[in-house]
Structure 1
Amino acid sequence: MSSSSEEELLDFKPPDIAEDTKMSFENLLLPKSREKYKKTYEDFIKWKTGKKVKSLSENVFLAYFNDLSKDKRPSTLWCEYSKLKTTIRLKENVNIGDYANLSTFLKRKSQGFMPKKSKVLSGNNIETFIKEAPDEQYLLEKVILIFGVNGACRSNELTALTINDIETHNNKMLVRVRGCTKSDRMFIVQDELLKVVQKYQKLRPVGIKSDRFFLNFKNGKCTKQVVGRHKIAAIPKGIATYLDLPDAESYTGHCLRRSSATLLAGAGANVLTLKRHGGWLSDKVAERYIEESFEKKSKITIQINKAPLKTSPFEPRPSTSSTVSFDELNTETSTSSTLNSSPSIQQVNLPDKSVQLSMANFTNCTVIFNMNN
């Protein structure tokens, strides 16, 4: 071996496997949710250390989720399970998705649980607020309402919206939403709603470093301070309060997205249209909005009420077969036999299995039908 080769071997340093694993763990998680996934994993490791447990068996995870279920809702348990399944697979190379008993445990915890959903704004509510609320006080709320409903936007999507995501073409505004899924979404603002948005745009101060679209609005002017996610999430509650709607606390940050999907489903949209509009990957979510649609339920009620009153699933179907009398059948006994006399046994060969017999005059006798033919 040459001296140069020996020097290369001496200078060679094996890769840091732990560091590579850490890097792959960081890169495989989505940037937006990376910290949440890491915290879920760290919470489990902390619990496992406190219990002095080293195994990653199914019983360990059953015990962990049983402890979590004491103060967490079933929907939260499923969320923690999903995040932990990903992190455990990446960190420990163990797939807890194969633990059938764990899945059964979570399903039983979910039985009878009704998740609390945000209330939705009706079309009349939206129109009333935009027309009647004074712009000097509620212009920001109006623009967020327009964007949130037209684009089925989440609070964090509205927060991240920038001036570069908005383009105006031929009296129509094209807005691009950087969604949580892999693909972006787009929606249009036009007509009278566009005038409201443009009025807000013109109030943007000059020389702002941030490119965020939504800026704080006060006393009829925009400030240089950006609007945070929590303030955007509280806007539906403020709108419900202005409209004097009951239980205004139930209009949460998810209200605008739910209102958008509900209105679209009520207009007759199918599952595919709803999925594209809201960026949902699952059919179940879109189908839920269609099933809960007031208009859909009204159509079902109308169909039920218009059904023929005589139609019943318990009524026998009318027979299309012919009705023949007993005398018309070929019998092996004498035709002179009298059926209404003493009890007797006669054998009848039916030429057709679909034949319907009229037995009105058969009394005090026993009849055996041979259906083999």
Structure 2
Amino acid sequence: MMSSNINYSPEGNESIPQEIEEAVTRATLDLLPTKSKKQYELAYKRFVEWCDRNNVAGKYSENVMLAYFDQNSKIWKSSTLWAHFSMIKGMLNVENNQDIKALDDKYLMFKVVAVMGILGACRREELCQMSLNNIEDLGNTLVVNIPDSKTRVSRNFTVITET
């Protein structure tokens, strides 16, 4: 009889050697920054407790997180919401092997706006004023023109895809 140092992946019948499983466990634990690990754990603990109080314990999904952050948006600044989202998402990956991702078919526009806001260092008003006419598609490069707003100066940035 063989020793049980081979595990089976949850996706199928492929066997995974014990050394690989241990490497995955180590790598997963390394996902959390050492200096702020306690903050991550505290943010996760608060989220789990909120889930327990709201009868959604163990049902961690995009919708549950949306409800959690919607409720907290009334008391937290946007930077705090973002930090807590990032920490909880990391902890869900480590503790539950669950990677919460917003599906493209439902959230693609939000992702595009977030990327453009971050890459272009855009103000809220600038994003609201933008239209498809502000984006020039050059094949593997997008040139984004940010209309003038508070500074009365328009500016550009580019998004280049890998080929």
* Class of the TM-score when normalised by the shorter of the 2 chains: 0.3 to 0.5
Q: Based on CA coordinates, which of the two structures has the bigger radius of gyration?
A: 1
* TM-score relative to the length of structure 2: 0.46
With normalisation by structure 1, the TM-score equals 0.22
